[in-house]
Amino acid sequence: MSLSAKAFTVLLLSVSIVSCGENSSYTAEFFNDKLRDSTNGPQLSVIPAGKGVAGEEYTAPSGYFGPQRTIKISTAFAITRTEITFAQYDKFAKATNRALPDDRGWGRGEMPVINVSWIDATAYAKWLTEQTNQYYRLPSETEWEYAARAGTKTVYWWGDNYIQSKEHCDRDIGDCTDGTEAAQPWISGRYDATPYGLYDVTSNVAEWVLDCDEAKTRSHNTTPVETGDCENRIVKGGSYTDRAHNTRLSARSALSVDAKYPSVGFRLVREIHQ
């Protein structure tokens, strides 16, 4: 596999995954692209091509999370290991004279950026593309779920049963890890990583993806759904505000492209050209 063009830093980590495709193990590859000032961009994990599932036959008050479908990812891609942080987004905002998003007094730095719209997220992706000479964008819903599942078919990446403080704290259940019982996000990457090396895919903050809000259509590959109500875009995953049953990998809802919420952030895909 060739990661093209500019300099990057690579870290290899061997992990085993429960496979729903042809690979029973995978060596995770992490790297950073360099920005124009020679600092590192967000750390990325390479997600291998393969087959998997997305969706689930589950209905929540926020909507229907199905149907479950077979998906195929023909080309490897990279995705940020954590949700984009305030430190990363603030650098972009200051460089482009944009207003800094409100952190609600919870802190900035390595906290996931919140109160950013779909429009803000796509603007950051465009800036990062210009900075690195690599193509960054929001993931499609299928890419997001394929990466988050890490080869599994289960409700959560670790299995079908919710585990308190594995990646989320449900305050109604109690016995939260110290510091996570507060009704707010936490520092990105605090909990366990998935087999693909990603953090906070079922919690912390929900995440913008490319897809338009379409009641019936779901993609079976990397192509985002671009029919339906494109003034509303899908957000994936659970957040710190959700109860345990809504933090599943299939979780999805739709918000206006200019909406800003303290429970919504994003992560980015970086395309790989082989």
Listed in sequence order, the residues at least 6 apart from 130 whose beta carbon sits closer than 8 Å to its beta carbon are none
- Mean pLDDT, consecutive 10-residue stretches, the chain (274 aa), reads 41 41 66 97 97 90 86 96 98 98 96 98 98 98 96 93 87 73 80 93 95 91 93 94 90 96 98 82
Domain 8-271 in CATH 3.90.1580.10? The answer is yes
Listed in sequence order, the residues at least 6 apart from 79 whose beta carbon sits closer than 8 Å to its beta carbon are 44, 45, 47, 139, 143, 144, 147, 198, 267, 268, 269, 270
CA 165, 170, 174, 179 torsion: positive or negative? positive
Give the residue among 132, 131, 42, 127 at the shortest CA–CA distance from 78: 42
* pLDDT score of 61: 78
Maximum Cα interatomic distance, the chain, rounded to a whole number of Å: 49
* pLDDT score of 266: 98
* pLDDT score of 164: 86
* pLDDT score of 6: 39
* pLDDT score of 250: 94
Cite the DSSP H helix spans in the chain. 86-95, 118-132, 141-149
